[in-house]
Amino acid sequence: MKTLASLLTATALTATSAQAVDLEVTHWWTSGGEAAAVAEFAKAFTEGTDNTWVDGAIAGGGGTARPVMISRITGGDPMGATQFNHGQQALELVEAGLMLDLTDVAEAEGWKDLVNPSSLLDSCTVDGRIYCVPVNIHSPQWIWLSNGAYEKVGLPVPTNWDEFVASGPALREAGIVPLAMGNQAWQSNLAFDAMAVAIAGPDAWVDVVSNKNVELARGDVYAKVFQAAADARSLREGSNVQDWNQATNMVITGEAGGQIMGDWAQGEFAVAEKVAGEDYTCLPGLGVNEVISTGGDAFYFPKNDDPAIEAAQKELASVMMSKAVQVAFNLKKGSLPVRGDVDLSAANDCMKKGLAILAAGNILPGLDQSLSPDAVGQIEDLMTEFWASESITAEDAQSRYADIIESAG
Ligand code: BGC
């Protein structure tokens, strides 16, 4: 016969396991490096709590994934947690009351004192309440170069954008595509934006995207950026790939000289067992201005009536912010952690460059922190057209760009 004590224990156990939740987490991390990184979150959540991570990867990049995520949340079929970029992408959902308030977790764990830079937590904050957990700092302003391609043509690896442009003809002659670029709107815009920071300079860039300085966007400084981008169009000819990681792969194999891409590209080099400084070279700020922007990824937790789900959501938020998980995830992701009190001795050369720039405070806001999703979308459409066809002149593109900035302001 069971004793009362053992019955009570059994009941307690049943009660605990009844609370265990299968939590679906959506994100757009489907490349090799991204999958390796997100597996660290899944492992920590499933092994470290009673709950189970149910992976809801959506292929095709953020531009494809975000509309799916948003329509599930607004359509009454919310997932347990979902990725968005830092900034305004989820603002309307928060304002509509659809996201769980995480302020109690954030206060209990002292996120305000931990998260660096504080702009990351500000991006999660609406009317004084915290609605997301920032998980990383990603900067898009990098160029990734194939040391092997330069060895093949007998040129030193470029140290900045101008040297890269100058190396284009030699690469082309050797059958190497100078600039790998995937054919998706966000990638076209990322390349333009990184060039704007390098050529117009970080202050001008902030003035245009954050302060909506239309005169600057219409003026000579930005004319130089558009001209440089128009010139760079020919460098990407022959880059017939769609996804960003396919373009990164062209750099890994030496089929291409370089790619302008965010520091998540590091994850692909790592999976391919390539060594920074030996097999490839990374230049933050395209080697012109050593800056990074502090965009990246944050997780939001759509509201749910079930208290067990809510408890699991808060546990996941806490796991994502924890020291060990910040290190394990970010080392694989190629991003910087959101807290400064973690041990990053295992960082590679590129990540060390990023950390030094962050420590020096040479940081910019992310594009999604500066402009609404609607304005970003309009610029992405323009950039898709501009990079794809020589028929849009630098002047036309500049004037359309300035119009978008003007209406965003
Ligand atoms: C995200 C990165 C991701 C990249 C490519 C960006 O929007 O911030 O985490 O690796 O998209 O998928």
Tell me, yes or no, if the two domains 4-137+295-355 and 142-290+371-408 fold the same way.
yes
Does the pLDDT value for residue 10 go beyond 50? no
User: What are the distances in angstroms from CA 296 to CA 7, 8, 57, 335?
Assistant: 49, 47, 17, 8
Which residue, judged by its Cα, is nearest atom 8 of ligand 1?
296
Ligand 1 atom closest to 31 (CA): 12
142-290+371-408 in CATH: which number? 3.40.190.10
Does the pLDDT value for residue 119 go beyond 90? yes
Cβ of 263 below 6 Å from ligand 1: no
Cβ of 62 below 6 Å from ligand 1: yes
> How high is the pLDDT of residue 29?
98
> How high is the pLDDT of residue 409?
85
Residue type, 277: G
> How high is the pLDDT of residue 131?
98
Per-residue pLDDT of 39-82, as tens digits, reads: 999 999 999 999 999 999 999 999 999 999 999 999 999 999 99
Ligand 1 atom closest to 296 (CA): 8
> How high is the pLDDT of residue 19?
87
* Distance from residue 406's CA to the centre of ligand 1 (Å): 27
The average confidence (pLDDT) of the chain is 94
* Distance from residue 27's CA to the centre of ligand 1 (Å): 9
Q: In the chain, what are the domain boundaries?
A: 4-137+295-355, 142-290+371-408
> How high is the pLDDT of residue 380?
97
Mean pLDDT confidence for 241-265: 98
Does the pLDDT value for residue 18 go beyond 70? no
Does the pLDDT value for residue 16 go beyond 90? no
Q: Does residue 216 sit in helix, strand or coil?
A: helix
Per-residue pLDDT of 263-321, as tens digits, reads: 999 999 999 999 999 999 999 999 999 999 999 999 999 999 999 999 999 999 999 99
Instruction: Collect all residues with Cβ–Cβ distance below 8 Å to 229 and sequence separation of at least 6.
Output: 191, 192, 195, 386, 387, 394, 397
| Gyration radius of the chain's alpha carbons | 22
Residue type, 262: G
Separation of alpha carbons 247 and 378, rounded Å = 24
State which of 26, 27, 29 you would mutate to test the pocket of ligand 1, scoring each by most atoms of that ligand within 8 A of its C-beta.
29
| Token code pair at residue 287 | 């080697």
Separation of alpha carbons 323 and 106, rounded Å = 14
* Distance from residue 152's CA to the centre of ligand 1 (Å): 31
CB 90 within 8 Å of CB 62:
no
Using pLDDT thresholds of 50, 70 and 90, give the confidence band for residue 13: very low
φ, ψ dihedrals at 19, nearest 5°: -80, -15
What is the CATH topology of the domain spanning 4-137+295-355?
D-Maltodextrin-Binding Protein; domain 2 (3.40.190)
> How high is the pLDDT of residue 4?
41
The 8-class DSSP code of residue 158 comes to P
Cβ of 34 below 6 Å from ligand 1: yes
> How high is the pLDDT of residue 142?
98
Task: Give the pairing type, strands 280-284 and 125-126.
Answer: unpaired
* Distance from residue 62's CA to the centre of ligand 1 (Å): 7
Cβ of 329 below 6 Å from ligand 1: no
Cβ of 296 below 6 Å from ligand 1: yes
State which of 69, 84, 297, 376 you would mutate to test the pocket of ligand 1, scoring each by most atoms of that ligand within 8 A of its C-beta.
297
Using pLDDT thresholds of 50, 70 and 90, give the confidence band for residue 222: very high
User: Smallest Cα–Cα separation from 124: which of 347, 359, 364, 317?
Assistant: 317
User: What are the distances in angstroms from CA 266 to CA 101, 352, 389, 397?
Assistant: 33, 12, 30, 31
**H or E segment and range at residue 357:** helix 349-359
